[in-house]
Amino acid sequence: MNWEAAGAVGEIVGAIGVIASLLYVAMQVRMSTRASVIESRLATSRMHSDFLGSLIQNPELDEILRRGLAGLEPLSKEDYHRFSNLTLQAFTVFSACYFQVEAGTMNSDEWQESEMIIQY
């Protein structure tokens, strides 16, 4: 075998190695992207759960939220402040959901779920 043939075989083996490496990197990027999407969805679920958990664990907050949603006028100054903080916390959760839709990590079906919670 001459040096030209050995060089050609080396180039072919090298090209196969590069292609295999690129395929491996593409698979890793795809799996990483999927894991990122799943993690962002889990984070959103955690935020929803934490917000609802605070209402469940503190019936007084739940009562303030219900009264505030019915009308702001009957609320005392302290209750109005707590209601404002609750709605700000809820807005933060839904803002994070919307950001995920815009970033492409949440699809429109998942966003509709959040919209249903907002309307509720």
Q: What is the pLDDT of residues 33-81, one digit of tens each?
A: 888 888 888 888 888 889 889 989 999 999 999 999 899 988 999 999 9
- Of 57, 40, 58, nearest to 110 by C-alpha is 40
* This model's pTM is above 0.85: no
**What is residue 73's three-state secondary structure?**
coil
